[in-house]
Amino acid sequence: MTTATSTLEASSSTVFGVEVPQPPQHGKPGGIMRHLNFGTGLLTGIVFAVAAGWITSALSSSSATNDTFAPTEPEYIYLAGLIGWVIGFMLGMGAFVGPLRWVTGRDLTHADAEYMAGKDLGIRRYFKFTTDHKVVGIQYLVVVLGILGLGGLLAMLIRTELGATWTEVFSPTFYNTIIGTHGIAMVIGMIVVMSGPVGNFIVPMMIGARDMAFPRLNALSLWLLVAAVVCLISSMFVGGIQDGWSVYYPLAAQAPPGMLGYQLTIIVFAVSTGIASVNLMTTILTMRAKGMTWSRTPILVFGVFAASLMGLYAFPFYQYSQILALTDRIWDTVFFNPVQGGSVWLYENLFWLLGHPEVYVILIPSMAVALEIMPVFLRRPLFSFNFAVAGIVGVVALSGLVWAHHMYMTGWAPAVNYPFMLSTEMISIPVGFLVLVAIGTFWRATVWTRLPLMAIYAVVFNKMIGGVTGVYLSDVPADQYFHGSMFVVAHFHYMLMGAGLFGAMGGIAFYFPKMTGRILDERIGSIGLWTAFAGFQITFGSMFVAGLQGQPRRVLQFDDMFNISNWISTIGAYVIGIGMLIFLAAIIYSWRSGEVASSNPWGSKSLEWQTPTPVPLENFAVLPVVTERPYNYGVPDPYEAELEAEDGDRTSDDRERAGVS
Amino acid sequence: MKRLLVTLASVVLGIAVVVGIGLVASVSGAEPDAIVAKQVGTKSTPKGELPHYEVHLDVYPNSSAAVPPPSAGTPINAELLSGQPFYKPSTSIQVPANSVVTIHFTQYDSGGQIYNPYFAKVHGSMDGTMTWNGKQVSEIKSSEVGHTFTVHQFPESTQPYLFLSVPLPMNPANAKTDSNGYPVDPQKISVTFITGEAGTYVWNCEFPCGDMYQEFGGPMQQRGWMAGTFEVVA
């Protein structure tokens, strides 16, 4: 594919038949990157963290402790350690090698870039700052499974505490810590679970590209996520996050140093998400294969693009809120501290400006995966591709106009409650488009029920329950009753976990053959899926009852009247846990010993399945040209067939644009 | 067979990890044994002759190794809580129902101006007063408060009402101290109240003296330090 002509002087390489001028090659391809990996990243990160903490300890004055608003000395040390960790880890991974080589006039050559893409590195490429989108996709999958595993473990502990009514299994501070850490870990995990593994591994192939637009930024976003997660975990050992995942003021200001871990996690994670969003959007906008018009672009690409767009505008608000909170805490600024004149409402607005779009950042890719999977297993086109796209566009348009429904009861600007109620209820219309397209696609379909489609059944059911209960919460009068109760907790678990996580399970089962070259074991996988589904209904169905009875959320102890609902919820949670472990077993077993998959085991028509398995570094030997829509399975719609017969490959959309009736 | 083994191993290992971490967290965060009130006789009250019980609590600044601080869970937490005041010997207190209870406090810490003067007054005692160094008082100067011992009604609809709040005066800055830095004549406070039916309550110090914003962080939020449980048992 490529031919290097010189390694001493400025030279050229032939890349896919094109002569490309190259800077001089210094040493072996890869240079210092040959020596850098996850191990050096860990080592450098720890060394930098310890050094930064030690220097801060030496410089800080112990007289600063115990003033009314001043942080204690260990806080400075912890913060410095975290910053040192992030910088050191990224340095040790080799994240700065490319820019440093460019600054010093020793820019990377094509051979260096191929080394960084993991060419001929075997399994070692999964432990390095590798730029190949497929490797990054797998790395994302493993990291996100780890994050969700942490969140799930904490969920089990939470339900253990709540199930053992009137018996304190854990101290209140530890309980508060696991509530907050579970919340933010699951939010991070769910945001990444589709856009990370599927967005990186699948989307470039799906649009007929050889890689992402910015491969090094791709690796950067992944390893920044790893650095951020370590900050989050560290917070549990320095007092924890005791104020829920929203960390409202003034609770956040009273919180132990673990709050700094939360703040730095969000700041770094937002950088990671921003980079990933720009990369995905640029890739989709500029690198689609020839002939892949928007009407020929798979719906999953729309979903990932929409999630990236929402993340790009929403995350800076969240990041900004945490930067200001950090300065309040460390430098005694007054953005949010109410006693000194700060505004807690400012914090709440900034937080929810991310907090609600984030729901759709999770939900839309999950729904898009569902719509991507359905035509394959129902062997017919989507019920209405245009309605599905309209639904996604509608959600994106309205997603930034609904945040204040989280603040109905705070007293902030009561006059805007009703406009926000209207916008929130309006967003159910485009979301409804997506659900209707999903249900409509079943109409007159030949159902080929395999594991990925089973997950979609679960998604549609959970989405329906979550959507219906959400309507009540969006309603101001009803929200006065439901606000802050377990009803809210049950609702958002139906949306985020019920739709998001089960959608992710479907996505993993669907793309597993392309990612690993093996079929995900259907028997173990489906037992895991349906066990988790049954546990899910028990847990959160019962939680709805507790919420309707009036049980407040986030409270360690509660009235005896809630005991039965909580016992049932806890039993259900254990069932979910067992189901998830069985699904994990399916992944582990299949990855090692599963049935070997052909390159296109589902008979899909989209481009990613037209590549060989394992997928070569460059994805396609020759870039594909797209000539039809992605879902033309089986017998086409008679009307569409008639149009196709008349106009060749022109679709009804083309005809409408051309004004042909 | 291999499939079954992998599945079983995943489930068993997963459960073991959850149970293991849960056990470690539960044990490391466990509070010291509860202080159980001891009967010292009977006392006549408007409700008739009731059994009389006593509890002894000390309040220390964390300034000397002579009185080691309570467990902080982890070494890092211990570092974060170093220098912070605490109650001894435990913050889990158990008293009998339908009884007269006297709590004797020995207060070794300093203090200052309390933010909320409501808590400089005695609330919920048998006659609305407490004994402070042998004198009956119903309140102290809000600028001379060291700590408070405030028992709160728990959010439990079936529990009987109970609210008790006692201000613990500070030791002056020029108080004579022993070789460990503790006042030679610490503040002695006693308060007597009547318990109702059985119930579980929480208590805390309402004079924020911890870390961070309004000094409500650190020990103020930590059971074993400046907050605890108050159980009335049948």
The CATH number assigned to the domain holding B58 equals 2.60.40.420
Is the pLDDT at A60 greater than 90? The verdict is no
Give me the residues of A, 44-103, that contact B with CB < 8 A: 65-66, 68-69, 71-72, 74
Highest mean pLDDT among A43-52, A406-415, A560-569: A43-52
Mean pLDDT of A598-623: 92
Confidence of residue A10 (pLDDT cuts 50, 70, 90): low
Interchain proximity B10–A237, CB inside 8 Å: no
Residue B47 identity: K
pTM of the predicted model as reported, rounded to 2 decimal places = 0.86
Q: What pLDDT score does A644 carry?
A: 59
Q: How far apart (Å, rounded) are the C-alpha atoms in residues A228 and A132?
A: 22
Confidence of residue A530 (pLDDT cuts 50, 70, 90): very high
Do residue B6 and residue B53 come from a single domain?
no
Summarised one tens digit per residue, pLDDT across range A426-475 is 999 999 999 999 999 998 888 999 999 999 999 999 999 999 999 999 99
Element holding B164 (H helix, E strand) = strand B164-169
Rounded to 5 degrees, what are φ and ψ at B226?
Answer: -120, 20
Provide, as residue numbers in chain A, all residues whose Cβ is less than 8 Å from the Cβ of B1: none
Q: Which of A153, A158, A162, A173 to mutate to test the interface with B (most CBs of B within 10 A)?
A: A173
Asked if A295 contacts A629 with a C-beta cutoff of 8 angstroms, the reply is yes
Domain that holds residue B165: 32-233
Do residue B4 and residue B21 come from a single domain?
yes
Interchain proximity B30–A171, CB inside 8 Å: yes
Angle between helices A344-355 and A357-378 (to 10 degrees): 10
Does B30 or B48 have the greater pLDDT score? B48
> Distance from A582 to chain B by nearest Cα, in Å?
6
Interchain proximity B213–A339, CB inside 8 Å: yes
Short-list A327, A399, A336, CA closest to A362:
A399
Pairing of strands A18-22, A11-15: antiparallel
Q: Which of B90, B213, B229, B233 to mutate to test the interface with A (most CBs of A within 10 A)?
A: B213
Q: What pLDDT score does A146 carry?
A: 95
Is the pLDDT at B196 greater than 80? The verdict is yes
Do residue B60 and residue B11 come from a single domain?
no
Q: Which two tokens stand for residue A84?
A: 């040192």
Q: What pLDDT score does A206 carry?
A: 96
| Longest distance between any two alpha carbons in chain A, whole Å | 85
**In which region does residue A279 sit, left (phi positive, over 0), alpha (psi from -120 to 50) or beta (all else)?**
alpha
Cα dist from A88 to A44, A92, A133, A619, whole Å: 5, 6, 24, 33
Number of CB pairs, chain A paired with chain B, less than 8 A apart? 124
Provide, as residue numbers in chain B, all residues whose Cβ is less than 8 Å from the Cβ of A529: none
Q: What pLDDT score does A508 carry?
A: 92
Residue of chain B whose Cα is closest to the Cα of A559? B156
Residue of chain A whose Cα is closest to the Cα of B79? A74
Interchain proximity A74–B79, CB inside 8 Å: yes
Candidate from A227-241, A310-324, A492-506, B143-157 with smallest mean pLDDT: B143-157
> Distance from A524 to chain B by nearest Cα, in Å?
8
Give me the residues of A, 284-343, that contact B with CB < 8 A: 329, 337, 339
Nearest-by-Cβ selection for A156 from B18, B73, B157: B18
Is the pLDDT at A659 greater than 70? The verdict is no
Do residue B147 and residue B177 come from a single domain?
yes
Summarised one tens digit per residue, pLDDT across range A329-347 is 888 889 998 877 889 999 9
Mean pLDDT of B146-161: 79
Short-list A372, A399, A562, A543, CA closest to A455:
A372
Confidence of residue A4 (pLDDT cuts 50, 70, 90): very low
Provide, as residue numbers in chain B, all residues whose Cβ is less than 8 Å from the Cβ of A337: 213
Is the pLDDT at B156 greater than 70? The verdict is no
Structural domain count, chain B:
2
Mean pLDDT of A379-389: 92
Do residue B115 and residue B97 come from a single domain?
yes
Do residue B129 and residue B193 come from a single domain?
yes
Mean pLDDT of B73-88: 80
Q: What pLDDT score does A649 carry?
A: 52
Is the pLDDT at A500 greater than 80? The verdict is yes
Q: What angle do CA B123, B124, B127 make, to 5 degrees?
A: 95
Look at the alpha carbons of A275, A278, A281, A286 in this order and tell me if their dihedral is positive or negative: negative
Asked if A528 contacts A583 with a C-beta cutoff of 8 angstroms, the reply is yes
Quick one: CA torsion of A298, A300, A304, A305, rounded to 10 degrees?
Answer: 30
Give the number of other CB atoms < 10 A from CB of residue A638: 8
Mean confidence (pLDDT) of chain A:
89
Mean pLDDT of A482-508: 92
Residue of chain A whose Cα is closest to the Cα of B31? A171
Q: Which residue has the tokens 């919460």?
A: A473
Provide, as residue numbers in chain A, all residues whose Cβ is less than 8 Å from the Cβ of B83: 65-66
Is the pLDDT at A542 greater than 90? The verdict is yes
Q: Which of B2, B4, B10 to mutate to test the interface with A (most CBs of A within 10 A)?
A: B10
Interchain proximity B213–A157, CB inside 8 Å: no
Do residue B150 and residue B51 come from a single domain?
yes
Confidence of residue A1 (pLDDT cuts 50, 70, 90): very low
Q: Which two tokens stand for residue B68?
A: 């080691």
Give the number of other CB atoms < 10 A from CB of residue A418: 11
Do residue B128 and residue B227 come from a single domain?
yes
Q: What pLDDT score does A501 carry?
A: 87
A277–chain B Cβ distance below 8 A for any pair: no
A132–chain B Cβ distance below 8 A for any pair: no
Mean pLDDT of B16-38: 87
Q: What pLDDT score does A144 carry?
A: 95
Do residue B45 and residue B146 come from a single domain?
yes
Provide, as residue numbers in chain A, all residues whose Cβ is less than 8 Å from the Cβ of B218: 256
Confidence of residue A660 (pLDDT cuts 50, 70, 90): very low
Interchain proximity A254–B216, CB inside 8 Å: yes
Q: How far apart (Å, rounded) are the C-alpha atoms in residues A34 and A24?
A: 18
Provide, as residue numbers in chain A, all residues whose Cβ is less than 8 Å from the Cβ of B213: 69, 250, 253-254, 337, 339
Q: What pLDDT score does B209 carry?
A: 74
Mean pLDDT of A155-161: 96
Mean pLDDT of B91-96: 94
Provide, as residue numbers in chain A, all residues whose Cβ is less than 8 Å from the Cβ of B157: 559, 561
Summarised one tens digit per residue, pLDDT across range B201-233 is 889 999 987 665 566 777 887 888 899 989 999
Q: What pLDDT score does A6 carry?
A: 45
Do residue B79 and residue B22 come from a single domain?
no
| Longest distance between any two alpha carbons in chain B, whole Å | 80
Does A655 or A149 have the greater pLDDT score? A149
Interchain proximity B223–A173, CB inside 8 Å: yes
Mean pLDDT of A610-631: 91
Angle between helices A502-516 and A133-163 (to 10 degrees): 150
Do residue B120 and residue B192 come from a single domain?
yes
CB neighbour list of residue A556: distance below 8 Å, 6 or more residues apart: A161, A168, A172, A175, A176
Q: How far apart (Å, rounded) are the C-alpha atoms in residues A562 and A566?
A: 6
Rounded to 5 degrees, what are φ and ψ at B15?
Answer: -65, -40
Q: How far apart (Å, rounded) are the C-alpha atoms in residues B95 and B37?
A: 5
Q: What pLDDT score does B173 carry?
A: 87
Confidence of residue A69 (pLDDT cuts 50, 70, 90): very low
A167–chain B Cβ distance below 8 A for any pair: no
A49, with CB counted inside 10 A (0-12, 13-18, 19+), is buried
DSSP A301-347: HHHHHHHHHHHHHHHHHHHHHHHHHHHHHHH---SS-GGGT--HHHH
Q: What pLDDT score does A340 carry?
A: 79
Element holding A223 (H helix, E strand) = helix A215-235
> Distance from B107 to chain A by nearest Cα, in Å?
20
Give percent of chain A with pLDDT exceeding 90. 71
Mean pLDDT of A76-95: 96
ipTM: 0.75
Q: What pLDDT score does B73 carry?
A: 72
Mean pLDDT of A557-586: 93
Do residue B19 and residue B104 come from a single domain?
no
Interchain proximity A339–B214, CB inside 8 Å: yes
